[in-house]
Amino acid sequence: MILTRLKTIFLTLLFVCPLTFATAQAEVATLTWTQLSPTASPPARSYLAMTYDDSIGKVLLFGGFSDSGYLNDTWTFDGSNWTKINTAGAPPARAAAQMAYDRRTHRVVLFGGYDGHNDLGDTWIWNGRASTWTQASPAHSPKAVTGPMVFTDLDRRVSVYGGFDGNLYQLTMWKWFGTDWKQLHPASVPTARSSSAVGVNFRAKQIVLYAGLGDVNPLNTWTYDGSTWTLQSPSVQPATVYGASAAYDENLDQVVLFGGANGGVDQNATWEWNGSDWSQLSPTQSPGAREGAGMVFDRANGHMVIFGGQFRGVPMSDTWELTP
């Protein structure tokens, strides 16, 4: 199972008690997660890949792990309903892959994952306007890994950091240039890890990475400015989680983090990163605890969206949106 793969090397993780700030309380007084009731929905799954496809103005979902095994179906979400996209070809089934939107080429780039037997290192390109997947043939590529961190970089290209290659956690960073990957060499990088939460705040020109799984304690927060990674010293942090979900919320103007697992216990806390510190939010309603969910900001509809994940190993199929 995918969890066995992700938890091959496991650290004893500690809870950190959250601090509450009056300003944060006032700001989120009416914040709530609302469960949606789409007429069509993807089957239950966890450790799926999900991003926002700006070229078509819809949320894009691919693959994941279900009770029936590894998946390779493709779905879009328009804010009301999910639609299954029947493509002529698709990446092989996998879980714990990640994908992000390349604002230079107007394509989605998918990388990595695990198919039940092997870590994967293939690169696939999604053309939202044509509804097609195409396997890329780069001359250079990151190592095959499970749980890489794939995100839209501040220069609008897609970057990859870390992952687990079956033996070691990785700390290399690569960038996609449309036809090939190029390895980057920042002056400093986070300690090697996989399954971390990553959010990109283009307004503040900052990428934040939190926790994950690693040989070295991953209870830390790192930020990236497009050139180098910096270890931050926030006064408070969420529980040390892996398989958490994170994305930038344009309404709150903050990166929001949700869920994840801590010491094998799934969480449902909602946190925000303001650029230098974490604070726990108190929505009036919240999705159930989970790990391995997909979470993106749906720009067309102006809401953060969560789908799926798993609780105590059982895949989920619910859809939620964060409404300020």
pLDDT of residue 6: 53
pLDDT in tens, 176-190: 999 999 999 999 999
Q: How far is CA 151 from the centre of its chain?
A: 8
N residues, the chain: 324
CA atoms within 13 A on the CB side of 183: 11
Edge-to-edge strands, sheet with 221-224:
197-201, 206-210, 221-224, 229-231
Query: Is 80 exceeded by the pLDDT of residue 52?
Result: yes
pLDDT of residue 30: 85
pLDDT in tens, 113-133: 999 999 999 999 999 999 999
Specify the pTM.
Answer: 0.92
